[in-house]
Amino acid sequence: MLERASKVIPGGVNSPVRAFRSVGGGPLFIKKGEGCRLIDEDGNALIDYIGSWGPLILGHRPKCVIEAIEAVLEIGTSFGAPTEREIHLAEAIRDAVPSMEMVRLVNSGTEAAMSALRVARGFTGRDLCIKFEGCYHGHVDSLLVKAGSGLATLGLSDSAGVPPAFAATTISVPFNDLNAVAAAFENHKGKIASVMVEPVAGNMGCVPPAPGFLEGLRKLCTDNEALLIFDEVMCGFRVSFGGAQGLYGVTPDMTAFGKIIGGGLPIAAYGGKAEVMNYVAPVGPIYQAGTLSGNPLAVSAGLAMLTYLKEHPEVYTTLEKRTAALCSDNLPGVTVNRVGSMFTFFFTTEPVYDYESAKKCDTKRFAAFFHHMLEHGVYLAPSQFEAGFVGLAHEDADIEATREAARQFFAA
């Protein structure tokens, strides 16, 4: 299948991390998902800790989501026109996350982050954005930037095809470093539109915010009349029902959501204060549009997911318990980071608190660990720098089987 795919799809995959390039070997092609397991095309059953990169908090094919999808198929999949379902989903997001006074539905996390950044620039009349090294906000041109050598240097893109002028609008600083953010504001007075951050980083592995970090960002943005944007595409509705902002008690001006609000189907959203969102067309001058935005299929799946989570708050208690058990072993040469049901096994003995500390990991040993776990029926993210996810479908026996497979690797 990889040989066939490589003839018609670049690298044989439709998203680069799937290619297994960082761990070696060839990617698995998946035939089916059920509960906490994936079945590959060779018939191997694997305990899945990717969960479609986070949204499958209830596991594969949860009954509530499947029933919602089946019901909406009776009326259609996409109209390019408003439906009542869109209102229900937007209201559900607003009720769970009060900072989202108004919501615009889009189709991907990339689109949500890109749109939030555009709105911040249009609302403030400024061009520059601060982001954090190791935080990924989708493949938006100006956000594909790595940090410079100083505390607050204008970035260079990590991708060919991005004009330097686009990258130059982004200031990249170390995660968890408030001094670097303060320096950036000082060096670019009156020019910074926003600070965009994953409040719980997931794209350099799971890295939590240091105590006071999010609160410090809130104050710096307020003091400098810039907008604070939380990219909760990965952690939203996963680390708590109210997202990371609910967990940590810090209110952003804007938020980007994705993944989980579609219940496994492609959908995302951005939103925030009404005074900001009223700058978005058709009521304001900032243009953003999408034919499939708010399509009834994805909206219905997402609404079923959020309704279930609201009605069953014990889900988060269960996930906390099971993920804590998964991460409880003292594995030699490994630092474990966890927030709720997000986790990463970092192959380093040092604390991991930003991208530079994450890059100290022994990626070759991680690759060996990855393949060992795969051979023992456990499917982890094929990259040291990705978070893993526990879902409600993971039973205690699955957690214990995973721990035992890991122990065998370190005992060898």
Question: 345 to each of 62, 204, 220, 323, how far by Cα in Å?
Answer: 27, 11, 32, 12
Q: Across 258-340, where does the E strand assignment appear?
A: 268-272, 335-339
Type of residue found at 107: N
Tell me whether residue 231 is one of the annotated catalytic residues: yes
Residue 191 near residue 213, CB atoms below 8 Å: no
Which segments of 163-295 does DSSP mark as H helices, in order? 164-167, 178-187, 213-223, 243-248, 274-277
Taking alpha carbons only, the member of 36, 25, 19 closest to residue 322 is 36
**Could you say which of 136, 248, 316, 379 is catalytic?**
136
**Could you say which of 177, 231, 354, 398 is catalytic?**
231
Q: Which residues contact 101 (CB under 8 A, 6 or more apart)?
A: 94, 271, 272, 273, 274, 277
**Furthest-apart CA atoms within the chain: distance in Å:** 63
Residue 65 near residue 231, CB atoms below 8 Å: no
Tell me whether residue 270 is one of the annotated catalytic residues: no
**Alpha-carbon dihedral of residues 95, 97, 103, 104, nearest 10 degrees?**
-120
DSSP 8-state secondary structure symbol assigned to residue 37: E
Q: Which residues contact 171 (CB under 8 A, 6 or more apart)?
A: 128, 129, 130, 131, 152, 153, 154, 155, 184, 188, 192
Q: Which residues contact 242 (CB under 8 A, 6 or more apart)?
A: 96, 97
Type of residue found at 84: E
- Strands across the sheet with 30-34, in order? 30-34, 37-40, 45-48, 378-379
Tell me whether residue 136 is one of the annotated catalytic residues: yes
Output the six-digit token pair for 130: 């601060």
**Could you say which of 177, 248, 259, 398 is catalytic?**
259
Catalytic residues: 136, 231, 259
